[in-house]
Structure 1
C-alpha cells in the first residue's frame, strides 16, 4: 500500500511540474483592433483570355498584430458590392501580408462572385482580408474594404436560348419552359452572333430569346414591327408560321434576328444527283438528325439546304463549316447518311456502310 501511494504521489508531482512548464511556454494573443489594406486603394483591371498567365493584381496589407511571435492566417475575400460579403469568395489564403493573382485566377474568382463576362466597362468587386488564428479560425478580425473594377471573360462559347410554344416530338423544344430551351451558339468568346437550328413543330408558333436557360430575366422579343428587330425585356413575342426545321440567327448587340426554313440534302459527284440536284434527307425528330439511305460513288460531296447553295456545309466529319471544302468518299457503296445539326456551331455527320 505504501509503495502504491508513493507511485501515485510521484505521478501527480511529475504531472504538476509538466503543467507548470507548459504554462510558462504559453503565448497569449492580443487581437488587433483593426488592420488596413495598403494597396491598391482603387483602380480597374482588364482581364483578357490571351494573357491568362500574366500578373493581374497584387493586394497588400499591414500585419494583423496578435502579439509577439504569433503568426496570423489571412483569407482574401471577394464579393459584389451589393452582396456585402454575405457569401464571399475566398480568393487567396496565406500567412504573408500580400496575395498576387494571375489574370486567370482573378477572372475565376470574380466570375464566381457574380461578375458578368465581356462587359464594355469594368464592374466593381469588393475586396477585404480576414485575419484569424489557427485552423479553428479564432480571434477573427477584418480589414477595411476596397473596391476594384474588373472586366471578366469566359472560355466557354456564349449561348443564347430559344423558348416558346413549339412543342416538338422527341422532347426537343418546350412550352415556354426555360430549362428545356433550345441553345444557339455564338461564333466565339465575347461574340454576339448566335445561331443554331430549331424544330418548330407547330403551324404557327411564338418564341423569345433568353440569355440563360434558367429564367426569363433579360429576355429578347420582337419590337412590335415583326421585321427582324429585337428589344430586350419587351412585351411582344417573336412569331412564325409553318412547321419545320429552321436555321435561327440572332445578334444581341445589333438587336436583329432571322429564321430560315431548311430542308437538307446531300449533293456532289458522289451522289445520285451530282452537283446540280440534292438527294433529299428526312428529318428524324427522335434522333434530331437528317437521315437517308443513299447509293454513292467515290468522289466529292457536301450538304446543302433547300436544294440551293445559299446555305451549305463542308469540311470534315466532326467539323462541318459553312462553305467549307468538299468532303471526299473513298469507297463506293450504299450508305446510311446522318447529318446532325442539333449542336449549335458543332455540326457533324456520319456515313454508315450498309
Structure 2
C-alpha cells in the first residue's frame, strides 16, 4: 500500500512540474511589422552600366515586434506601383535591419519586374518580416515608391532565317545593332539562296508572325515589310547589314586571310599574297595553321583588300574594324582562328601547336 501511495505521489509531482513548465512558455505573436526608414519615398535612380558595382541605395528599417527576443527574417519585396504586390520580385533576404543594393542588383530587380530599359518606371518597395518558416507570423512594413530607370547591355538583334538553315527563325543566325534603340544591324552569316529578316515578338522570341522584312522586289538593297520577296544570295560567307528604319540592306561576300610582318609572306604592300584562311562550317570560324615570328604583327583582312580589316585595339582579344595591329607573342606555329559568328563581338585566338 505504501508503494502505491509513493508511486502516485511521484506521478502527481511529475505532472505538476510539466504544468509549471508549460505556464512559463511564451507564445510569439506578430504585434507590429518593421518600419521602412530609407530610402525616402519618391527617390529616383537612373542606372548605368559604367558603375554597376557601386552602391545604388541602402534600405534601412526598424525591428518588427514579435513579443520575444529572437532573430527575425527580413525580405525586401518590390512590385510595379499600383499593382498591390500582385507580382513580387524579391531584392534579397537578411536577418539584419538594412540591405545595400548595388547598381547592378537594383537593375536586375527592375528588369525582372518587366521594366523596359531606359524607361523611368515607379516601383513599390516594402519589407516582409517572419520567424523561421512560420507564415502565420509574417508582418509587413509601410510601402514607399521609388522611380527606377534601368539599363541593358544586350544589343538588339535581328534574325536571318533562310535556305542556309532551314527557315527556322528561333535557330537562325543573328545581326546586332550598335546600341539600344538603334536599328543599324550587322553580322556575318553563311548564306545559300533565299533569306529574310525577322524581329523579336513582345516575348523576345524570333518566330513567324512577327515583323519580318524581305526585298521590295527590285533586288537593289531595299527592304519591304509588306508584299516583300525573299532576298537572294549565292552560297558564301557574307557581311550582312540591315537598317529597319532606313529600310535598306546589303550583303558583302567575304573571304578572310591573315597578313602582316609576323607571317611568312609579310605585309601585302610588298606585292605578296595574303595567307588565306578556311571557313569551318561546324565551328563557324575561319582558321589556318601558320608559322608566325615573334616581335612582329598580324591583321585579318577580307578579299585581299584593306577596305575591310580587323585588328585588336587594346590587346583585349576583341576585334575592332581597322583596329591596331596584333602582336605575335613568340615565334612558333599557331592555329589562328577568326570568329565572326557573334554579331558585333568578334574575336580571334592564337593557339600554339
- Normalised to the residue count of structure 1, the TM-score between the two structures is 0.72
Note the C-alpha offset of 1:297: 7.7
Note the C-alpha offset of 1:311: 0.8
Matches within 5 A, 1:182-197: 182-184=173-175, 195-197=186-188
In the alignment, does 2:286 pair up with 1:290?
Answer: yes
Aligned alpha-carbon RMSD (Å): 4.5
In the alignment, does 2:163 pair up with 1:166?
Answer: yes
Matches within 5 A, 1:129-278: 129-154=127-152, 157-158=154-155, 160-168=157-165, 174-178=166-170, 180-184=171-175, 195-201=186-192, 203-210=193-200, 214-216=205-207, 221-222=212-213, 239-249=231-241, 258-269=250-261, 270-272=263-265, 274-275=267-268, 276=271, 277-278=273-274
Q: After superposition, what is the alpha-carbon deviation per residue over 1:77-101, rounded to whole angstroms, capped at 9, x for unaligned?
A: 1123486534422224356665443
SS in 2 for 1:93: strand
- Contact persistence 1:163–1:209 (CA under 8 A): no
- Contact persistence 2:197–2:214 (CA under 8 A): no
Q: Distance in 2 between matches of 1:83 and 1:235?
A: 42
Matches within 5 A, 1:1-354: 3=3, 6-7=6-7, 9-27=9-27, 29=29, 31-32=31-32, 37=36, 40-59=40-59, 64-67=64-67, 73-81=73-81, 85-94=85-94, 99-117=99-117, 119=118, 121-154=119-152, 157-158=154-155, 160-168=157-165, 174-178=166-170, 180-184=171-175, 195-201=186-192, 203-210=193-200, 214-216=205-207, 221-222=212-213, 239-249=231-241, 258-269=250-261, 270-272=263-265, 274-275=267-268, 276=271, 277-292=273-288, 300-315=297-312, 318-327=317-326, 331=331, 338-344=337-343, 345-350=345-350
C-alpha distance 254-26 of structure 1, shift in aligned 2 (>3 A)? farther
- Structure 2 unaligned segments of length 5 or more: list them: none
C-alpha distance 313-70 of structure 1, shift in aligned 2 (>3 A)? closer
How many residues get paired? 340
C-alpha distance 161-23 of structure 1, shift in aligned 2 (>3 A)? farther
- Normalised to the residue count of structure 2, the TM-score between the two structures is 0.72
Match of residue 171 from structure 1:
none
Note the C-alpha offset of 1:304: 0.9
